[in-house]
Chains A and B, each alone.
Chain A
């Protein structure tokens, strides 16, 4: 600046003019910089609409993936404001599809009916890898460390295991039994110690795959666990694997802390009984509700929710409900249990008070209520209503409906918080 040359007292009018010019130049430069910054910011904003380029920073903890079963697409939604973010198409036949999440909660692995395994980027909202790994599959699981994803297949019966980063094949385990027949595989879950556990519908067996030592898994087979295991669950602590039996009464339990003790039968009265009640939709055992020492699970063939004492594995009670239960899901705090039903009662939801052991609310969201998913801390629950092509969000305390979102024949709803839970 000029001030070093003039002491103020000697300032001439010419000097004043020079100073004013200087100020003007500075002001114009500053405005130009501002303009450039503004332009850059505007361009950045335009980029948000383009899924291929990096977006403004965002977490994934409040995201969910919704299966649109008939269209072969998924929706990505967010549960903080209950809104749709994007749709992703091209996932094949998604009837009975399910999903698991990478440990960083960025990627979803979607298991389709047609054997398709698709890796979806929840942030970029696009497919990043896809393989059609069998002719007919039913679900899958992600390993404890997140490095492997396993798929259970009906046709050809068995389990295939892939690397999560590029979906390259790591292991192919045919579910062979008897004279080389292959069984449909159901109830595939992850277990602590880099294990996967699953059951063989046709063979009546439970197998474990242990990946602890290397990429070549150690297979352990438990035979004669009961006829036609139709689904299974692992307790949230990863200790007990329990398969429901369709072909006879009872459930098969494997204590993964003591696999050497083998599979034992529990709940001899669990089942369809002597009359063999027809079942219009197989119940799902995953997501069963636990409150204190009691667990709640769907009866099979009867219109009841069973209450199980987990300390003794004995039946502690039965709650009469509106239809044959499909999902019996516990709110994360365990205080409420939400139940949906098989055809022809699939328009209804009932809420059971886990302390009083009674139904406290019955309501009809619409025909084809296929799935429910609680937000991670349980203040809201998302429900898919297939025949209305809608997702409903309810406040679980007031049971008031908070939001309705359009979705094409929605079925499963999967929130990213599943990433940090054993068996989901």
Chain B
């Protein structure tokens, strides 16, 4: 449960960067990353694979901060790797938001 403590302690950081939207071009790259590379575990349609489903329905009720923390830091004890280094905090927050809103494909 150490990761949960880390989630909570990083909430402030995540909140601080929220609102900075990635550029249009970068958004397209991030969507592609989400579909193709996250898709290798979560499925191209994000209905799940080795990793859990990431559809809007599956994520309903999950806090955005929890999702963006998981994207950035991975999920210890599972196969989910940290994506820090490939996406920055604002981008992680944006990815969490489009997942929650079910806006991955446009």
Question: Which of A93, A279, A343 has a CB less than 8 Å from the CB of B79?
Answer: A279
Question: Do residues B37 and A154 form an inter-chain contact, with CB atoms below 8 A?
Answer: no
Find out whether the CB atom of B44 lies under 8 angstroms from the CB atom of A113. yes
Is the Cβ of A278 less than 8 Å from the Cβ of B41?
no
Contacts of A96 in B (CB 8 A): 40, 43, 49
Check B102 for interface membership: any CB of A closer than 8 A: no
Task: Give chain B's interface secondary structure class.
Answer: loop
| B43 / chain A contacts, CB cutoff of 8 Å | 93, 95-96, 113, 136
Q: Is A103 an interface residue (CB 8 A)?
A: no
B22 within 8 A of partner (CB): no
Cβ-Cβ contact count across A and B, 8 Å cutoff: 62
Per-position binary interface string of chain A over residues 93-119, scored 1 when its CB falls under 8 Å from any chain B CB and 0 otherwise: 111100000000000000001100000
Query: Cβ of A230 < 8 Å from any Cβ of B?
Result: yes
Question: A343–B35 Cα gap in the complex (Å)?
Answer: 13
Give the docked Cα–Cα distance between A136 and B74 (Å). 23
Instruction: Decide if B50 touches A280 in the complex (CB within 8 Å).
Output: no
Contact digits for B5-45, partner A, Cβ 8 Å, 1 yes 0 no: 00000000000000000000000000000001101110111
**CB-based contact B48/A154 at 8 Å:** yes
Beyond A70-B44, A95-B43, whether A282 also contacts B50 by CB under 8 A is yes
- Asked if residues A136 and B39 are in contact (CB atoms below 8 Å), the reply is no
Q: How large is the interface on A (under 10, 10 to 19, 20 to 34, 35 or more residues)?
A: 20 to 34
Assess the B36–A278 pair: CB atoms within 8 A. no
CB of A292 closer than 8 Å to a CB of B: no
Contact: A282 with B79, CB < 8 Å? Answer: yes
* Complex interface bits, B60-96 against A, C-beta within 8 A gives 1, otherwise 0: 0000000000000010100101100010000000000
Q: Do B49 and A113 touch across chains, with their CB atoms under 8 A apart? A: yes
Residue contact B81 to A344, C-beta cutoff 8 Å: no
Chain A residues with Cβ below 8 Å from B45 are: 93, 95, 113-114
Give Cα A335 to B92, complex, Å.
44
Chain A residue nearest to B37 (CB atoms) is A343
Q: Which of A93, A135, A201, A276 contacts B50 (CB 8 A)?
A: A201
Contact flags A151-191 to B (C-beta < 8 A → 1, else 0): 00011000000000000000000000000000010100000
Q: Is the CB of B81 within 8 A of A230?
A: no
A147 to chain B, nearest CB (A): 29
In the assembled complex, how far is the CB of residue B26 from the closest CB belonging to chain A, in whole angstroms?
15
**B79 → chain A, closest Cβ, in Å?**
6
Q: Which residue of A lies closest to B77 (CB)?
A: A247
Asked whether, in the complex, the Cβ of B48 is within 8 Å of the Cβ of A136, the reply is yes
Assess the A136–B47 pair: CB atoms within 8 A: yes
Closest 3 A/B residue pairs (Cβ): A278-B81, A95-B44, A343-B37
Residues on A facing B (Cβ under 8 Å):
69-70, 93-96, 113-114, 135-136, 138, 154-155, 184, 186, 201, 228, 230, 246, 276, 278-282, 343-344, 368, 386
* A–B complex contacts, Cβ < 8 Å, 27 sampled: A70-B44, A93-B47, A94-B44, A95-B39, A95-B43, A95-B45, A96-B40, A96-B49, A113-B43, A114-B45, A136-B49, A154-B48, A154-B49, A155-B48, A184-B50, A228-B79, A230-B79, A278-B74, A278-B81, A278-B82, A279-B79, A279-B81, A280-B37, A281-B41, A282-B41, A343-B37, A343-B86
